Every structure is written in C-alpha cells, then in structure tokens.
Structure 1
Amino acid sequence: MNTYLNLPAPAKLNLFLHVTGRKSDGMHLLESIFVLIDLRDQIDLEELPSGAIERVGDIEWDVEKDLCWRAAKLLQRLAPQKGCRITVRKQIPHGAGMGGGSSDAATCLIGLNRLWGLNLSRTELMRLGLELGADVPFFIFGQDAFAEGVGEVLTPCPIPDFKALVVFPNVSVPTAKVFGSPDLTRNTKSIRMLHFPGLVSAFPLALIGRNDLEPVTRSLCPAVEDAFRLMKPISRPRMTGSGSAVFSAVELGSEVCPLAPLPSGWKQWIVKSLKIHPLSGWIES
C-alpha cells in the first residue's frame, strides 16, 4: 500500500482583514492578505484497498464534519474505488484564526491527488477546496496572496520575509457570533484605492490596514483582550482572522522574545513566514 508520512499543513496569518460589504446571501465580502507561516500540522495518508475513508488521530468531533474526511470524500467522487486512512497530528490550535482545519483539508486534497494518481490541476483542486471552506483554496494556491470576495479570489502578493510572536489564549472564538454582531464594521473602503504596493513593501515596519473583526472579538472574548494587554507593552499586536490568536510581526533579522509568564493553558510560538507551501511542487499549475 502506498503511504505518505508527515505531510505539512502550515498555518496562516491575516496581515489585515477588512469587511467591505455583504452579498445578497448574507456572506461577508472581505479583503485581506494571507501569509503562510512555519507552524504546521502533520498528516499521514495511507492508501486502503477496501475503498474506505478512515480518519484517525486527535479528532474530537463527528467524523462527517471533519474537513479532512470531507476532502477525501470529495476526491473519491472521481475515484470511487480508492480509499485511505488519514492521521492528523495537530500543532495549530482549533479556533485560533490560523486556518488549521482548512490547511489540513488542503494538504489532504494535494496528497490524495498524488496518492490516487488523479493529476488534477491547481485550479481544479482550488475549486474543490472552496466546497469545504473559503480559506481552503488559499492553502492550495500556496503563496502570499491578496484575498477578495469571501476570501477565495486570490492574487499573488509577495510580502517581505518576517518573524512573528504568536500568542494563543486558549479560547476558541465563535466565528459566526463575530460576523453576526451588529457592532461589526461592514463598510471599510477597498484598500485597492490606496497605494497598495507601497504599503506591502513597508511591512512589517508599517502595519497594513486593520482587522475589522478585532474589536468585536475582544469584546466577546476576555482572554483575547488579555492577550492584547500582555503584548501591547512590547509589540504592536494584531489579531489574525476572527481570532483568538494574536501576533506581532518584525523584520526577519530582528529579535523576538517570548512572553513570560503566560497564563495557564496559553501557548506561544516564534514563527517565520513561508514564501511557498511546502507541497506546492506536487501540483500542476
């Protein structure tokens, strides 16, 4: 049986996140820059001749709601006789706004595309990934990107290399509650109207835009507010996604010091940006 071990599923950071409007179906229109970082989950894929799809590892929810299992079922529509066992070893916390579940699903799509010999293109895999969630196509796109729409319209946007301190305050943010809040700003002016290339080249010395979800999340989750209070004296903290992780970015050659002590259960990492997804070469453009 063919097996791929330790496939990387890297996390992402949103350097900014603007809510620019709302579609007729209620989905929010966003603008953001997505950047890969070297914090990652690891995934094993083992081909099963039985045709079954098995999901093992640290799963604490209904398997039919699991994005890796659903990714395999999507691809199985093209190869009904194929099966696999998926093992996920998590490092990216659930509910941190770092795209862990979406990245895991993308790595499963990329790995199974190769394991099962389907030879789908990057565009085809991204289209399938969108059925699983708006962030999944980015991880298949596999490079720094300016995101529009609901997050699925991606344009390459190279960002200067950086390091960051990322702090996770051990809470999972209710994303639907954040987007449903009447206090959420939904009319931020498009950043395309500004001098976008200049803003990008100045990062991380100058931050880009803001995270429109941040004020709502801080009011809903006291632990996120605590993370900002701890980080503010030594950095310029910003929340990624809908939270709860908070990060501070610096130039690659600058020193980054961890916070000490952290409240019980909290986690922190010093991470580096990634220019390209480690599995990007596995996909035909």
Structure 2
Amino acid sequence: MTITDAAYAKINLALHVRRRREDGYHELETVFAFVNGGDRLTAHSAERDSLNTIGEFGGALDNPFNNIVMQALGALPRPDGLEVTLEKNLPVAAGLGGGSADAGAIFRMVEQSHGLPEDWQARAAKLGADVPACVESRTCLGRGTGTELEPADEAMANTPVLLVNPRTPLATGPVFKAWDGIDRGPLPDGDTLRIAVEGRNDLEAPAISLCPPIAGVLAALRGTSPFLARMSGSGATCFALYDSNFARDEAAARLAADHPDWWQMKGNLR
C-alpha cells in the first residue's frame, strides 16, 4: 500500500507574544493558517521505519534519523513500519512550520492506515508546539505555547497568498530570546480576517534585528499592493495576501525579476 500526503506550509496570520514562562517557553496567541502547498510525503509499508529525503531543501536535513518525521513515526504505535520519502520543498528554519508540517502529515498518514491513539494531541505536542495545528492543517486559534487549539471560521479560505524567503535560515530560539518582553495586548476580536488585518507579529522586530534581509522582503512585498504583508512565525519567511490570484501572480513575477535569489511559493489559503 502506498500513501501520499502534503505537508502544508503553515503561516501565522497574527502572532502575539504575551509573556515569558518560567519553563522557558512563551505564552502566546496566534492564528494558524495553511497554504495549499508545501512538502510532499510518500510512504510504503515496510518491516521498519525509514526516511529518505529529496527535493530542493532535502540536503538541509543532515541527520534523517534525528528528523522530526522519524520522531513522529516513533511516537505512534503501529504493527508494521513505514518507508517514507520526504520531498522537501519548503526552506528549513523559515517560520513555515516545515518540520512540524512534515510530522503532521505523518500523523494523517498513520491515521489512514492504522488510526491514531486517543491521546494523539498530547503525542503531537511533545514533538513541537506547532505540530497539533499542523496535524489539522486548518485555520485555527492557538493559545498557551500554541498547542491549545480552538476552531476558527473560514473567512479567509482560498485567499491568494505569496510566500517569500531571503534564503537565510533563522532559528526560532534566538528570535524568542531577542523579544523585548513587552506585552502589547491580546488578539483583536472578530473573524479571522479582522484578526489578521488588525493583529501583528511580535517576533518581527527581534527577527529583523537578527536577520536584516527580512525588512527588505517585507518592503518588497508591501510594494506589490497586498491587503496584508507580514512575517510568519519567527521568520525569515514573509507572506502577502491579495484580493485575486492575478494580483498575486503579478507580484510573484515582479519579485522573481527583481530578486531572483529569493525563494518564493504561490498558493491559496486552505
């Protein structure tokens, strides 16, 4: 049996950091959304679990046995193994939840073949704060460290989106460490569109301090007349949302011509 699934790119439409916790994590409020593109996983039944990585960014995963895909496989009880091929199309350490999305796809693939244990959410959360949301891969609100999920409306489904990364990896830990500790308030009330437009990403300033090219990406995106441009997660990827696929495609072509060294992906929100 062959199973395939997509690891959908995650973006944070808004990300409000409220406080540092004593356990070293941060209390936050966010709106997770997912793009209809990302990595691709294919799995076959096998005697034992294994992972092969291909794709543009496959070489960035230098230790497949320590990869979150293998950790996700190890977290789920099954009678047999899975031989997984991961086509890594998303940049690594990019604020897109790429590894978490890969793990989320594994959970869905195991669900197809064997079902998931009742405590799958807790097992997912142990792998990473974004993993439970990435298993669902639907727009939702995240609180706590991001693992306390609440359903959200589909006001932004099918919204055209352009993702751009300056091809500069940026680790999450240093960005959170550089946050100034100021609580700038909760997410706005209203539907996801209002929250996105009126919200913010509190990690944008600390990320830019560590990776100045992010500011250039945001300026370039805002110059293409989206109704929203913002950094995703802890960076360095930024996204822009448009009123039409045509406007998004025009922006993508313009940025590809002006900045051929930048990575980009076009899509629509799921």
Say whether the 8 Å CA contact 2:52–2:64 is kept in structure 1.
Answer: no
Q: Larger radius of gyration, structure 1 or 2? A: 1
1:125 is matched with 120
1:143 is matched with 138
Within a 5 Å distance, the mapping from 1:56-75 to structure 2 comes to 56-58=52-54, 59=58, 60-75=61-76
Question: CA separation in 2, counterparts of 1:262 and 1:29?
Answer: 38
Question: CA separation in 2, counterparts of 1:180 and 1:174?
Answer: 11
Structure 2 residue identity aligned to 1:142: S
Q: SS at 1:131's partner residue?
A: helix
Within a 5 Å distance, the mapping from 1:42-57 to structure 2 comes to 42-48=40-46, 50=47, 52-57=48-53
Say whether the 8 Å CA contact 1:184–1:213 is kept in structure 2.
Answer: no
Shift, 1:189, TM fit: 1.6
- Which of 163, 167, 178 lines up with 1:166 in the alignment? 163
Q: TM-score, normalised on structure 1?
A: 0.83
Structure 1 residue identity aligned to 2:180: L
Shift, 1:255, TM fit: 2.0
Structure 2: segments with no counterpart, 5+ residues: none
Question: CA separation in 1, counterparts of 2:173 and 2:37?
Answer: 25
Within a 5 Å distance, the mapping from 1:104-253 to structure 2 comes to 104-115=102-113, 117=114, 119-120=115-116, 124-158=119-153, 159-161=155-157, 162-181=159-178, 183-191=179-187, 194=188, 196-197=189-190, 200-202=192-194, 207-235=197-225, 236-252=228-244
Q: Using a 3 Å threshold, how does the CA distance of structure 1 residues 211 and 185 change in structure 2: closer, same or farther?
A: farther
Q: Using a 3 Å threshold, how does the CA distance of structure 1 residues 113 and 260 change in structure 2: closer, same or farther?
A: closer
Count of aligned pairs: 257
Structure 2 residue identity aligned to 1:245: T
Question: CA separation in 2, counterparts of 1:150 and 1:230?
Answer: 31
Aligned alpha-carbon RMSD (Å): 2.0
Structure 1: segments with no counterpart, 5+ residues: 275-285
1:26 is matched with 24
